[in-house]
Structure 1
Amino acid sequence: MLRLQNKEQADSVLSGVTKSLSNYPFDFQGARIITGQEEGAYGWITINYLLGKFTQKLSWLSLIQRKSDNQETFGALDLGGASTQITFVPQNQTIESPDNALQFRLYGKDYSVYTHSFLCYGKDQALLQKLAKDIQVARNGTFKDPCFHPGYKKVMNVSVLYKTPCTKRFKTTLPLQQFEIQGSGDYQQCRASILELFNTSECPYSRCAFNGIFLPPLQGDFRAFSAFYFVMNFLNVTSEKVSSLEKVIEMVENFCSRPWQEIKTSFARVKERYLSEYCFSGTYILALLLEGYHFTADSWEHIQFIGKIQDSDAGWTLGYMLNLTNMIPAEQPLSAPLSHATYVFLMVLFSLILVAAVVIGLLLFHKPSYFWKEMV
C-alpha cells in the first residue's frame, strides 16, 4: 500500500532500513516489500508448520514411524488493515489463473497452492471505500450509517477519504469539506452497503471470488488469523459454544444494535476509535467470508479463528523466515526427529529398565552364601 501511495517514500524507508541493519553483525540480505501473494503463502506455511502438517510423526506407543492421521494442510485466511489473503491447496482442481498458483516442495511432498491477496480489502481500507461510496448520497453533509452504533456521531474531513488509492474509483467533487456520520446500528443495511464493494457480475473463469478473481472450490479446514481473530474474538464469537453461523450472525447483529453510550460504558478501556469500528469490522468479515469467499453454513464449521499457535503468533513472518533460511527441507529427512512426547517416553522407559537392572543386581549380590552353594 505504501508503494502505491508514495513510491519515493517507500524506497526511502527501505533504504534507511538497509543502511541501519547492514551495521549489525549478521548476514543481512537486503530489505524489500513482499508481494500480497507471498504474504498469503508465508501465512499458509506458518500455520501448517506450527500445526505439524509438513512432517511425519512418530507413534510413541509403538515406536514406529507413521503418517499423521490427517496429512491434509490447513487453508489460511489473513486479514490486515489494507489487504486480505486466502490460501489453500485445492483438491483435484486446476488453478485456472497462473498468477494465483504457487508450487512448494516440503519434506518430500509437492504442494500446488492457490493464493490471492485482495489489496484494498483489508478492514481499514474497506471502511474508507464504503464511506467514500456512501458520502455521495449525503444530504447537508450528514448521512445515517448503519455500520455504526445508534447515537454515534463523528465529523470527518472529506480529504481523509481520498488520501488512499483504494477510494480512487469513488472520488468525486463534493460541495463540502466535512461530513458527519450518524450511526443507526442496522446489521442488515450495513451488510447490504458492504456488498456493493464486491463486484460479482463478471467472471472470466469457471468460478470467482469477486472482482473477476479466480477462486477454486473451498477445500478442507481453514485457520483465520490476524484481524479475523482480533475482531471476532472481541465480539466473543470464537468460542466452541458459538459454532453455528446463525448464532454468529445473531451476536454481531445484536452488538451493532446496542446504543453507542452503552457500548462505551461496557468497554471503557477500549479506545473509541477502535471500539466504534467493531460493528463494521464484524459485519465486513461475515460479508467477505460468505459472499466474497463463498463459505456456507456448512463450511463455516471448518473455520477456526486463531491468535497464537504454541505461543507463536499466526502470521506471515515466521513462514518468511522458514522459507528464507531453508529450515523446512524440500526432502523428507532419512530419520524423523523425535517429538517431545516420544523423547520423554523413551527417557522414562530407559530409566525404568536401568532401575530394574540395579534392583535385580542388588538382590543377586546380597543372596546368602548357601543360596550360591545350592546353585552350584
Structure 2
Amino acid sequence: MGRLQDQQLSENLLNSVQEFIKTYPFNLQGARILTGQDEGAFGWITINYLMGNFLGDSRRVHATLGALDLGGASTQITFVPDEKIELEESSLYFRLYGKNYNIYTHSYLCYGKDQAHKMILDKLNVLNDGTISNPCFNRGYTKVINATAFFDTPCISRQSRPHQQLTISGTGDSVQCSQLINKIFDFTSCNWTSCAFNGVYQPPLQGQFGAFSAYYFVMNFLNLTKDGPHDLDEVKKAADRFCSMPWVQVKNVFSVDEKYLSEYCFSGHYILTLLQNGYNFTSTNWKAIEFVGKIKGNDAGWTLGYMLNLTNMIPAELPYTRPLTHTSYLTVMVIFSIVLFILLLVGFLIFKKKLCRLENKM
C-alpha cells in the first residue's frame, strides 16, 4: 500500500530496514517488496508443499490445491486451471519435482478485509450530526473515528469531509450489509471468456482449494472449520445468526478483543460475497474449499513458500534416491553373503566327495 502512495518513500524505508538488519550478525542478501502475484504463488507453493502434493502421482498435475489468501490490504487467488490461460500476465510457470505447473494467479489490491471495510464505510451516508448507520456492525455497537486518519488510504478517492469525527452506529442487518458490500465490486464488466470481478480475467475454477489467513480466522470464529466441510447455506446462516445478535449479547458471549469482535459481522458477509459473487464459487463447489490455519503444525501462508523458493529447497527435477536405504542395503549384503557361503560350502562338499571316489578307484 505504501508503494502505491509514494514509491520513493517505500524505497527509502526499505533501504533503511536493510541497513538496520546489517548491524546484526546476519548474511543479508538483500530485501525487496513482494508483488501481489508473488504472494499468491508462494501461498500456493506453501500449502501444496506441506500437503505433499508435489510428490504425488506425476500424471496428475491437477491434484494440487488452489490457494485463497485474504489479508488486510489485498487478497489473492491461485490455482492450476483445466484450460489454457488466456492472459499471459496472470500466468506463472513452475517446474517442481519433475512436473510442470502453469498456474493462474491474481492479486486484488484494496480488497483485503481491512481496506474493503473502509471502502464500504465510505459508501454510507453521513448524517448532519456526523453519524453513520452501518448494517455490518451489530445492533447497539458504536464507534467514534477520526475521518481524516481512517480514510487516509489510496483505496478511497480523496474528498473533503465536513466532519473530522464520525460516529458509526451498528444496525446489524445482514441483507443490507450484503447489499452494501456488493457496491464495492463490479460483477458485470468482462472482456474475456470468463471473469472474476472488476473485469479481471479468471479461468473457470478447478479442483480443491485451501483458504487461509483471514479466511480461516473468520470461519473459525463462526465455528465453521470443524466437523466439515460445511455447505454454503450453513455458512450464510452462521453469518446471519451472529449479525442479528445485539452488541450487548455479543460482548457477554465472546471473549475476543473488541476491534476484531465488532468486525466479524462484516467479515463473514464479505467473505461470502468475495468467494461466491467474486470468484464464482457456488453451492455446488463450495465444499471444495477447506479453511485451514495450520498444516502439519505449520502456518499456512506465503512465507514458507517464499523461503522454499529462495533457497531452492524444491528442485525442478525429482532428486536422486538410492534404491535401498542403508539398513536395507546391509541386510541384502548379509543375506547375499550367507547364500554365497552356503553355495561355496555345498560346492566344496561335492568336490570333496568326487575326490574321495576318485581316490578309492585308484
TM-score, length basis structure 1: 0.83
Does the aligned pair in 2 maintain the 1:84–1:118 contact within 8 Å? Answer: yes
Does the aligned pair in 1 maintain the 2:14–2:31 contact within 8 Å? Answer: yes
Equivalent in the alignment of 2:63: 72
Query: How many correspondences in the alignment?
Result: 334
Residues 150 and 242 of structure 1: CA distance in aligned 2, closer, same or farther (over 3 Å): farther
Question: In structure 2, what residue type is equivalent to 1:77?
Answer: L
Q: Cα distance, 1:8 vs. partner?
A: 4.0
Deviations 1:331-373 (A, max 9, x none): 11232899xxxx8xx88xx7xx99xx9xxxxxxxxxxxxxxxx
Q: Cα distance, 1:241 vs. partner?
A: 4.5
Supply the distance in 2 between the matched residues of 1:139 and 1:294 (Cα, whole angstroms): 39
Does the aligned pair in 1 maintain the 2:62–2:207 contact within 8 Å? Answer: no
Q: Cα distance, 1:242 vs. partner?
A: 5.9
Does the aligned pair in 2 maintain the 1:161–1:167 contact within 8 Å? Answer: no
Q: What does 1:139-150 correspond to in 2, within 5 Å?
A: 139-150=128-139
Question: In structure 2, what residue type is equivalent to 1:132?
Answer: D
Equivalent in the alignment of 2:263: 277
Q: Cα distance, 1:248 vs. partner?
A: 1.0
Equivalent in the alignment of 2:191: 204
Supply the distance in 2 between the matched residues of 1:10 and 1:230 (Cα, whole angstroms): 29
SS state at 1:31 partner: coil
Q: Is 1:85 aligned to residue 76 of structure 2?
A: yes
Of 160, 170, 175, the residue aligned with 1:173 is 160
SS state at 2:95 partner: strand
Q: Cα distance, 1:13 vs. partner?
A: 2.7
Across the aligned residues of Structure 1 and Structure 2, the Cα RMSD in angstroms comes to 2.6
Residues 70 and 8 of structure 1: CA distance in aligned 2, closer, same or farther (over 3 Å): closer
Of 151, 169, 174, the residue aligned with 1:187 is 174
Which is worse superposed, 244-253 or 154-163?
A: 154-163
Of 110, 131, 144, the residue aligned with 2:100 is 110
Of 219, 228, 233, the residue aligned with 2:220 is 233
Q: Is 1:126 aligned to residue 113 of structure 2?
A: no
Does the aligned pair in 2 maintain the 1:203–1:212 contact within 8 Å? Answer: yes
Supply the distance in 2 between the matched residues of 1:255 and 1:242 (Cα, whole angstroms): 20
Q: Cα distance, 1:221 vs. partner?
A: 0.1
Equivalent in the alignment of 1:20: 20
TM-score, length basis structure 2: 0.86
Q: Is 1:316 aligned to residue 307 of structure 2?
A: no
Does the aligned pair in 1 maintain the 2:95–2:317 contact within 8 Å? Answer: yes
Supply the distance in 2 between the matched residues of 1:198 and 1:336 (Cα, whole angstroms): 54
Which is worse superposed, 152-161 or 324-333?
A: 152-161
Structure 1 residues without counterparts, runs of 5 or longer: 57-65, 358-376
Equivalent in the alignment of 2:280: 294
SS state at 1:165 partner: coil
Q: Cα distance, 1:139 vs. partner?
A: 4.7
SS state at 1:121 partner: coil
Equivalent in the alignment of 2:2: 2
Equivalent in the alignment of 1:360: none
Deviations 1:55-114 (A, max 9, x none): 14xxxxxxxxx76998611000000000000000001x1212221110111111111100
Residues 69 and 4 of structure 1: CA distance in aligned 2, closer, same or farther (over 3 Å): closer
Supply the distance in 1 between the matched residues of 2:268 and 2:206 (Cα, whole angstroms): 24
Supply the distance in 2 between the matched residues of 1:33 and 1:179 (Cα, whole angstroms): 34
Supply the distance in 2 between the matched residues of 1:336 and 1:254 (Cα, whole angstroms): 57
Q: Cα distance, 1:244 vs. partner?
A: 1.2
Does the aligned pair in 2 maintain the 1:221–1:302 contact within 8 Å? Answer: yes
Question: In structure 2, what residue type is equivalent to 1:106?
Answer: L
Does the aligned pair in 2 maintain the 1:244–1:301 contact within 8 Å? Answer: yes
Question: In structure 1, what residue type is equivalent to 2:238?
Answer: M
Supply the distance in 1 between the matched residues of 2:61 and 2:107 (Cα, whole angstroms): 27
Question: In structure 2, what residue type is equivalent to 1:76?
Answer: A
Supply the distance in 1 between the matched residues of 2:153 and 2:66 (Cα, whole angstroms): 30
SS state at 2:203 partner: coil
Q: Cα distance, 1:140 vs. partner?
A: 3.4
Residues 336 and 275 of structure 1: CA distance in aligned 2, closer, same or farther (over 3 Å): farther
SS state at 1:205 partner: coil
SS state at 1:39 partner: helix
Q: Cα distance, 1:133 vs. partner?
A: 1.5
Supply the distance in 1 between the matched residues of 2:322 and 2:212 (Cα, whole angstroms): 29
Which is worse superposed, 12-21 or 218-227?
A: 12-21
Structure 2 residues without counterparts, runs of 5 or longer: 339-362
Supply the distance in 1 between the matched residues of 2:322 and 2:37 (Cα, whole angstroms): 31
Does the aligned pair in 1 maintain the 2:213–2:300 contact within 8 Å? Answer: yes
